[in-house]
Structure 1
Amino acid sequence: MTPLSTDLHYLDITELATLIRTRQISPVAVTRAQLDRIAAVDGALDSYALVTADLALAQAEAAEAEIAAGRYRGVLHGVPIAVKDLCWTKGIPTAAGMPIHQGHCPTEDATVVQRLKEAGAVLLGKLQLTEGAYSDHHPLITPPKNAWNADYWPGISSSGPGAATAAGLCYGSLASDTGGSIRWPAAANGVTGLKPGWGRVSRHGVFELAASMDHVGPMARSAADAAMLLAIIAGGDPKDPTAIPGPAPDYAAAIKQGIQGVRIGVDAEWNSADVDPGNQEVLSEAIEIFRSLGAHIVDVAFPDATQAVADWAPACAVEAACAHQATYPARKNEYGAVLASVIETGGTLSGIDYQKLILRRLNFSGRVATFFSTVDLLLTPVHPFAPLSLDAIQTLGEQPHLILNLQRYTCPFNLTGNPTITLPGGFSEQGLPIGFQLVAGHLDESMLIRAGAAFQSTTPWHRRHPVI
């Protein structure tokens, strides 16, 4: 385990923002330092699909001039950020992990990218991901490495955001989550991942995998930093009618509220079924910390999610087939085998079977909504086993039960749209991070931020960094 770091590249956004606002450090100097670190380190991590050095320096110079003139925009002004390479960036390639899109230069920014620009953030580049944001990297793409150990899984599909955020190659990142793709990389790389409630953040200009389950959210080194990022990108958007109208909640206020009296549900049976000792220890320690902070720990029985977990894959397959109609099967030979198989599966499900699935999804969502009338938060693992080696990941296709275990605690909350936060909670015997998950009621990201900030106010795990 590494000592607590005071390196510039590991500063919290709030710490860096204070230095920039008070002109103790310039956005240009910070950006140059980040670009130098990317050049020195990312050759071993492959977290970036594209580094936008010229754009970043131009934005940093503009931010520096504005701040010098007294026109400070807020906490992200001059702060270097990176985005998953499925968010459109005007005039900059957006490939979504797919070689067939390497030449695609959008004519507009995704809404989330536009909001980062309006906040004065500096865009360092585009972060690598699995093909089309599904479960495997395209054979022609070099997969990002886990920031802690290259022999271990970096998570999917936001593998690049997880590795880059953990390694100090950006101060925070935007990612997406359709079945666990913010939570798995956050846990694997020891960072904080916030999946907002479905509809909280506009999806306009974000490459689809499964539209009704896609969530766009931040990955950062703390819950407070994630809250800062979410506050910028959240809110209604006329370009995405599914985005909840109106401004974002006051997430900054939530950071300071604490969790005295907050009801945290723990389903001991669900949390212990085939869950390894390392995860059990992390959960137990988290429970005691929350209790010491004034939360009420409530024994609960969460609605049975077995069928929901089984339904996620066919639901995703149908929506993915829809999302890829323009290029599949017309360019089938340019797809990787895993994504192609998913799309093929989506085309075989009958309308009647899909309707049954929708009805089961509605039923499960209703039961989950009722559950959250009894507690404020639910605490679960991210997955039930220690961080997986790449050798183990390569056997997933031969072990359906392992895939279901991987998805057990994540994909149900894409079906329901509940917001979640993943927090670092400890380390495995091999020195790999172990995270845990908190789930909140519909659109209650503020509760997640309250709990995450409270937990991190008294624990060191989010301030541990890999040796690069």
Structure 2
Amino acid sequence: MTLPADLHYLSLNEIARRLRDRTVSSVELTRAILERIEKVDSTLKSYAVVTPDRALADAAALDIEAAAGRWRGPLHGVPIAVKDLCNTAGIPTAAGMAIHRDHVPIEDATVVTRLKAAGAVILGKLQMTEGAFGAHHPSIPTPLNPWNAAYWTGASSSGSGAATAAGLCYGSLGSDTGGSIRFPSTMNGLSGLKPTWGRVSRAGVFPLAESLDHVGPMARSALDCAMILGVVAGPDPEDPTAVPIAVPDYVAAAAVGVAGRRIGIPVGLSDLDPDSARTLGDAVTVFEKQGAQIVEVRLPAAFQQASRDWLGLCAVETALAHEKTYPSRAAEYGPVLAGLIDMGRGLSAVDYARLQVRRAAVTGGLNTLLASLDLLLMPVMGTAVWSLDRLAVTGRDPEAVAARLRYTAPFDLSGHPTLTLPGGKTVDGMPTGFQIVGRSFDEAGVLAGGHAFQQATDWHLRRPPL
């Protein structure tokens, strides 16, 4: 069978349909993507580990099941990949850390178990920043942005962003503690969902800061994200923080649309550059044309301080996550993660309590705001895209970090779901994005908003010029 030249760039939804129609087999599909990884990823460096033999064997077994009429669901036979902080039995899981490069788990993370049970073919593990914080370990290659290597790939799900955008998998899992699903999604032109905290199990996922960590899908469309979320979401006896509530049919819910829905747009956002402001304004226009009621709102007073508070809260929990290896093996850490842990170890109990009180204030303020809305539109960053040169100039200055996190970190503190979508481009051709935020556990509403936007636009159909 002759496979289409753009096979690697088709949506997960389209690939699932072709597998179901048996116009392509999982083995053919998996082999094609593995060949593309071999060809392209020597430059992009998006994968930490590729498992071709295992992937092809799994694909062959799934083809046999399909031929016998046994169908596991919409991910049956679809090649995807997972961020390298998700434990995978028999496959190294380093979490971007040099000290864990030889760590081979004996069990899968719950999210990996669920993907396999749904018939997904796991191609390998995707590269990430050290410990899922803001920088890659000096000894580990940094993934490149497939749109333009002079631009940031996003942290910390950098490999998930690069691989999914470059056609090296049909979807991926990322994690988001301060923006690490949303940054690589907007920088790579993807749709990325940070679910409500507690919607997806974190069992078997290496922590950065446990009360802030969210695991979620990164894909080429909101509908693709819905397909993955429907598989990985739900309660888990291995994770007592995974909330025991029913998981909706997200794919069906995505078709609801936004007509008559109240969508908030914040006023007074003075730090947006022209690209970010235009992308957000264009999204408002699209939703208005689809019958949504646009409502101007003001963000809670605590919102502006939230990204600064996030750093201290994250630091304390990161110090806890690394207490077995830091400071005893501090020399093996990169300077950025080590600096965060040192900050956390030095924070007083009174200072930490003060941060927790302010966290409760921003969470309560956002709950109050969202109770009056169906959805809230937000920028991802004040500066829509970041070049590597500009990042190098700003460095790791806390104020610069807080500015990048201004519109992402508050929703990690509060735990609300947020979907990042591509919604424009810069004069350099880089993708720009925006966020749709929803009430807690209303991923269905957020995905419906995202799907409606993508039914009316084609930003999610554009691919990098590799």
* Equivalent residue, structure 1, for 2:257: 258
1:467 maps to which residue?
A: 465
How many angstroms does 1:196 deviate by?
A: 0.1
Q: Secondary structure at the match of 1:138?
A: coil
- AA paired with 1:158? S
Give the whole-Å Cα distance in 1 for the aligned partners of 2:428 and 2:182: 20
Q: Distance in 2 between matches of 1:321 and 1:7?
A: 45
Matched, 1:146 2:128: no
CA distance in 1, matches of 2:400, 2:256: 39
Which is further off, 140-149 or 391-400? 391-400
Identity between Structure 1 and Structure 2 (%): 56
Are 1:309 and 2:307 matched, yes or no?
Answer: yes
Does residue 11 of structure 2 align to residue 8 of structure 1? no
Letter in 1 for 2:130: E
- Structure 2 match to 1:230: 229
The C-alpha deviation readout for 1:149-173, integer Å capped at 9, x for no partner, is 0111000000000000000000000
In the alignment, is residue 119 of structure 1 matched against residue 118 of structure 2?
yes
Report the counterpart of residue 285 of structure 2 in structure 1.
288
CA distance in 2, matches of 1:224, 1:43: 30
Q: CA deviation at 1:116?
A: 0.3
Question: What letter is aligned with 2:46?
Answer: S
For structure 1, the residue ranges without an aligned partner over 5 or more in a row are: none
Deviates more, 1:234-243 or 1:14-23: 14-23
Deviation at 1:462, TM superposition (A): 0.3
Name the amino acid aligned to 1:412: P
After superposing the two structures, state which structure 1 stretch, 207-216 or 370-379, moved more.
370-379
SS of structure 2 residue aligned to 1:217: strand
- Alpha-carbon separation, structure 2, partners of 1:392 and 1:262: 39
Match of 1:446 in 2: 444
1:397 positional shift: 2.7
State how far apart, in whole Å, the 1-side matches of 2:72 and 2:193 are: 24
Q: TM-score, normalised by structure 2?
A: 0.98
Task: Between 275-284 and 416-425, report the one with greater CA deviation.
Answer: 275-284
Higher alpha-carbon deviation: 440-449 or 390-399: 390-399
1:14-413 equivalences in 2 (<5 Å):
14-270=13-269, 273-304=270-301, 305-397=303-395, 399-413=397-411
Q: 8 Å contact 1:317–1:343 — kept in the other structure?
A: yes
Amino acid at match of 1:300: V
Following superposition, the deviation at residue 442 of structure 1 comes to 0.9
Q: 2:428 aligns with which of 411, 427, 430?
A: 430
Partner of residue 414 from structure 2, selected from 393, 413, 416: 416
Tell me the CA shift for residue 371 of structure 1: 0.9
Question: Could you tell me which amino acid in structure 2 is paired with residue 91 of structure 1?
Answer: G
Matched residue of 2:353: which SS? helix
Distance in 1 between residues matched to 2:183 and 2:17, nearest whole Å: 31
1:398 positional shift: 5.9
CA distance in 2, matches of 1:285, 1:13: 26
The offset of 1:122, in angstroms, is 0.2
Q: Which moved more, 1:25-34 or 1:277-286?
A: 277-286
Is the CA contact (8 Å cut-off) linking 2:307 and 2:403 kept in structure 1? no
- Determine helix, strand or coil for the equivalent of 2:456: coil
Count of matched residue pairs:
462
Confirm or deny: 8 A CA contact 2:308 2:399 kept in the other structure.
no
Q: Whole-Å Cα distance in 2 between the matches of residues 224 and 376 of structure 1?
A: 19
1:238-294 CA distance string (max 9 Å, x none): 000000114411201111111111111011212xx1211111111111100000011
State whether residues 234 and 247 of structure 1, in contact with CA within 8 Å, keep that contact through their aligned partners in structure 2.
no
- Cα distance in 2 for partners of 1:102, 1:463 equals 36
Question: Aligned equivalents of 1:6 and 1:255: distance in 2?
Answer: 29
Q: Which amino acid aligns with 2:293?
A: H
TM-score, normalising length from structure 1?
0.97
Q: Deviations over 1:354-395 (max 9, x none)?
A: 111111111221111111111111111100113111111122
Question: 1 CA distance for matches of 2:25 and 2:294?
Answer: 45
SS in 1 for 2:422: strand
